[in-house]
């Protein structure tokens, strides 16, 4: 069964200020850029990276105006093209169409001298390079930062690997799943005594690293604007994961405490986790303070009961609740299971209890708030029809992000980039193709 549509915005730009806000607020406040240039207009990015983390950085830069050239291996391209659900295009999975947005694809064999020469020309005309080769690979081809500095001293390098450019593990291969494990997140995921589980998406560490990559690139460009000099951003996947783990480092250093898997709850608040509903669904509750817990107890007695009142009298402060988590969570679970999810959500809203449904993607497609916030958008492709993808983030009031194109075909822009940007003749391009340089 196809998902229901909520008239997701289509076309090149998600936001449109000319749309009025209806009573239901479904159109939202949508500014249009008009004559204002995108914030990264004039910035050219060479994306040599593959799969998710590095390409995600480049995609976000592209959403805000950067000209992103995706440099791919001739014949096969980025393995992301084959990752996930295939489409009628043999070189474009749904994952690729979404994550390859706003990029121009050129093919180039960096192992060949002719390919290395072409890359140097591209680098001279670029501002940022995103790459995730193992440390030393580009240097082996004489294409590292030192090799290219003379041609462009303002070049910013985003170098992303599993373990970074230095350290005893630097030559090990790395993926997000490994980063979750090494960075300490996997140990916290799952229930005590059971097999550690994947924390959400297997690619979570990739996306987190991609965001840190954008931060690094923007700061490096700011520095370049002030000094004229580029620099290297050295990021490891496991570092991004580790940086997100709140107090586990200072607590271990201070007390020697090794935090254990916490299941659906947390050691810092109670009740704070996931709770079943009468119709077989789930809801998330967050009682991080005593005040929030008081609201929850009042909600429990919304139908003139006294279970909540008794619970609050017994466990009014957080420390007492944490010492008796099983009892508190058990009482809360029995209450949530007495109501269907939508009815339970309404009671929580009425009593200002922090709560949210645990959504499937089908729930998200039916959620009016996702529509009002413009969280999904769609584009019509001649050969594939409508493709719905997540919209750009964050939302800027004057220069919002935009999706100009979805993931390109492999080598789709060879003639435009090599012929137009670098001025290579059609005859020379044909020879490069014959020699499998491009």
Which residues are the active-site residues?
Answer: 206
Q: How far apart are CA 416 and CA 70, in angstroms?
A: 13
Q: How far apart are CA 76 and CA 54, in angstroms?
A: 18
DSSP letters of 85-141?
A: S--SSTT--HHHHHHTTTEEEEE--TTSHHHHHHHHHHHHT-SEEEE-PPTTHHHHT
Query: What's the token pair of residue 408?
Result: 């390109």
Q: Give phi and psi for 355, each to the nearest 5.
A: -155, 155
Query: What's the token pair of residue 325?
Result: 């988590």
Asked if the bond preceding 394 is cis, omega within 30° of 0, the reply is yes
Number of neighbouring beta carbons within 10 Å of residue 149: 14
Q: How far apart are CA 52 and CA 165, in angstroms?
A: 19
Residues near 132 by beta carbon (within 8 Å), at least 6 away in sequence: 48, 49, 50, 51, 53, 54, 159, 160, 161
Q: C-alpha dihedral over 358, 359, 363, 369, to 10 degrees?
A: 90
- Map residue 69 onto helix, strand or coil: strand
- Map residue 379 onto helix, strand or coil: strand
Q: How far apart are CA 107 and CA 105, in angstroms?
A: 7
List the end-to-end C-alpha distance of the chain, in Å, as a whole number.
42
């Amino acid at each position: 069964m196809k998902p229901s549509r909520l008239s997701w915005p289509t076309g090149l730009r998600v936001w449109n200020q000319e749309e009025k806000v209806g009573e239901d607020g479904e159109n939202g406040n949508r500014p249009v850029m008009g004559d204002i240039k995108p914030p990264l207009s004039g910035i050219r990015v060479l994306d040599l990276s593959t799969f998710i983390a590095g390409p995600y950085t480049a995609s976000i830069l592209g959403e805000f105006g950067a000209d992103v050239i995706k440099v791919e291996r001739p014949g096969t391209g980025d393995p992301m093209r084959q990752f996930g659900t295939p489409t009628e295009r043999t070189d474009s999975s749904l994952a690729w169409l979404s994550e390859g947005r706003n990029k121009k694809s050129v093919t180039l064999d960096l192992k060949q001298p002719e390919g290395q020469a072409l890359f140097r020309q591209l680098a001279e005309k670029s501002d940022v390079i995103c790459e995730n080769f193992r440390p030393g690979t580009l240097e082996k081809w004489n294409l590292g930062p030192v090799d290219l500095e003379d041609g462009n001293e303002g070049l910013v390098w985003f170098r992303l690997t599993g373990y970074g450019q230095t350290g005893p593990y630097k030559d090990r291969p790395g993926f997000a799943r490994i980063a979750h494990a090494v960075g300490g997140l996997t140990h916290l995921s799952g229930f005590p005594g059971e097999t550690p589980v994947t924390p959400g998406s297997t690619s979570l560490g990739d996306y987190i690293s991609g965001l840190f990559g954008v931060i690094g690139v923007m700061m490096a460009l700011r520095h370049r604007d002030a000094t004229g000099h580029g620099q290297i951003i050295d990021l490891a996947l496991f570092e991004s994961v580790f940086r997100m783990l709140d107090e586990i480092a200072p607590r271990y250093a201070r007390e020697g405490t090794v935090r254990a898997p916490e299941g659906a709850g947390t050691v810092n608040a109670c009740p704070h986790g996931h709770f079943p509903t009468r119709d077989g669904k789930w809801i998330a509750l967050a009682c991080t303070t005593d005040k929030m817990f008081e609201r929850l107890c009042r909600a429990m007695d919304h139908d003139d009961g006294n279970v909540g009142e008794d619970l609050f009298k017994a466990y009014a402060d957080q420390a007492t609740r944490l010492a008796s988590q099983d009892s508190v969570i058990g009482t809360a679970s029995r209450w949530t299971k007495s109501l269907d999810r939508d009815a339970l959500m309404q009671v929580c809203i009425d009593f200002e209890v922090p709560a949210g449904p645990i959504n499937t993607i089908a729930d998200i497609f039916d959620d009016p708030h996702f529509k009002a916030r413009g969280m999904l958008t769609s584009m019509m492709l001649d050969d594939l029809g409508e493709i719905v993808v997540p919209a750009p983030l964050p939302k800027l009031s004057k220069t919002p992000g935009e999706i100009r194109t979805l993931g390109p075909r492999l080598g789709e822009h060879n003639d435009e980039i090599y012929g137009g940007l670098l001025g290579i003749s059609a005859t020379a391009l044909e020879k490069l193709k014959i020699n499998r340089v491009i």
